[in-house]
Amino acid sequence: MVAALAPVESPAETVDRLRTTFRTGRTKSLDWRTDQLRRLRALLTEHGDELADALHADLGKSRKEAYRTEIDFTVREIDHTLEHLADWLRPEPAPVPARLGGAKAHTVQDPLGVVLVIAPWNYPLQLLLAPVVGALAAGNAVVAKPSELAPATSAAVARLLPRCLDEDAVAVVEGAVPETTALLAERFDHVFYTGNGAVGRIVMAAAAKHLTPVTLELGGKSPVFVDRDTDLKAVAGRLAAGKFLNAGQTCVAPDYVLTDPGTGAALADALATAVEELYGADASTHPEYGRIVNRRHFDRLTGLLGSGRTVTGGTYDRDAKYLAPTVLADVAPDAPVMREEIFGPVLPIISVDGLDEAIAFINDRDKPLALYAFTESDTVRERLIAETSSGAVGIGLPLAHLTVSDLPFGGVGESGMGSYHGRYSLETFSHRKAVLDTPLAS
């Protein structure tokens, strides 16, 4: 006799079940929050190799990169949160006007309720679980939606998360567009989405029907300004390491370089050397170099290779989803590679006369998720920070700002809205409630 399969829970049933749990109040205690975070930490440390294998299957990530950029990254976020959570949750007093003599005021961080976290495929573990850390720390029930484009990681999370966390307060919903659409039809108390702007608009429109607040972690073309008279060997090494991590499939990866023609020519040569130092003469044989997520993205990226003169790279293997780390020079501002976020291992160099033209070039385009600069000049630093708008500014080292837990990570304009990491995650998934206590006695 074959046992009957348990009925599959609908999105509406999942949300209702989690909301029932939230209304009991059990997710609000500090003990529950810290217990869930410790359980999540144990999941990552005890099943790290299993998760690393899934990340390799989905994106060709090496074990070293899987731990550094996904597993250990999330563990550090948990540790930082556990260390500070009790302090972050303490009521904050507020001064009271004299006319309300005797009254006391303070604010408290209130959990929002049931929140939805939708993750992308490029860092399918980190970008799912790091927001979940904030949602749990804030005392919410959570629906986690992993990316269907990273199926091995999605399956691993769906299998492990319910085993380790409070399954009446945390649920994983797998699937593609139909399942995501069904989830978005439900009323959540916050929706946290990481991905592209086109889907971000769909998420925001769906959330608006319920007046649900959203956090949109998007992307865009993050520029790099390289000043004259910089150490180009150091610049090239740091730029190549940041750009070609995860085969360029990073939302804050340097997207294009702005510099003067003379510096650009020397930098192109330095980048070719830096790429070979990182990955050898043939990156396809290097264990630390990943692969493109699928053939659709692969075909889009290879279609951009004709946008300039190939300095290094340009080779590819469609069956293996391999695209070599590629640097393009002599790229026109309106070339195909400059019309959309690249999100792959192709780095174009654009010539500008100097800082003024670089700032104008950046400001004429959508606000990026990050802006990077290599310069020894305090004036250049100050002008880039003051005269441009971006989610973050990184001087001298790409990508590193997102590893600082006390810095907010998020975009502005087309690159997103809202932020998270550390205390900013708690604030994203909480409501700061005002409390005024006025005595009845005169």
**157-160 contact pairs (CB < 8 A, 24+):** 157/125, 157/128, 157/129, 160/43, 160/47, 160/50, 160/51
* Predicted model pTM: 0.95
Q: What is the mean pLDDT of residues 116-122?
A: 98
Task: Note if 251 is an active site residue.
Answer: yes
Q: What digits encode the pLDDT tens for the residues 280-310?
A: 999 999 999 999 999 999 999 999 999 999 9
Residue 8 has what pLDDT? 78
Residue 1 has what pLDDT? 47
Give the model's confidence band at 442: pLDDT under 50 very low, under 70 low, under 90 confident, else very high: low
Provide the 10 A C-beta neighbour count for residue 306.
12
Distance in angstroms (rounded) separating the CA atoms of residues 220 and 252 = 8
Q: What digits encode the pLDDT tens for the residues 44-83?
A: 999 999 999 999 999 999 999 999 999 999 999 999 999 9
Percent of the chain with pLDDT over 90: 97
The set of residues, in sequence order, having a beta carbon less than 8 Å from that of 128 and lying 6+ positions away, is 117, 119, 144, 145, 146, 147, 157
Counting DSSP H helices and E strands in the chain, the numbers are 15, 18
Task: Note if 164 is an active site residue.
Answer: no
The yes-or-no verdict on residue 5 having pLDDT over 80 is: no
Residue 2 has what pLDDT? 47
Q: What digits encode the pLDDT tens for the residues 386-428?
A: 999 999 999 999 999 999 999 999 999 999 999 999 999 999 9
Residue 425 has what pLDDT? 98
The chain-wide mean pLDDT, for the chain, equals: 96
Distance in angstroms (rounded) separating the CA atoms of residues 363 and 393 = 14
Catalytic residue among 70, 164, 251, 427: 251
Q: What digits encode the pLDDT tens for the residues 136-149?
A: 999 999 999 999 99
The yes-or-no verdict on residue 199 having pLDDT over 50 is: yes
Catalytic residue among 217, 341, 414, 427: 217
Distance in angstroms (rounded) separating the CA atoms of residues 434 and 430 = 13
Are the beta carbons of 109 and 427 closer than 8 angstroms? yes
The yes-or-no verdict on residue 101 having pLDDT over 90 is: no
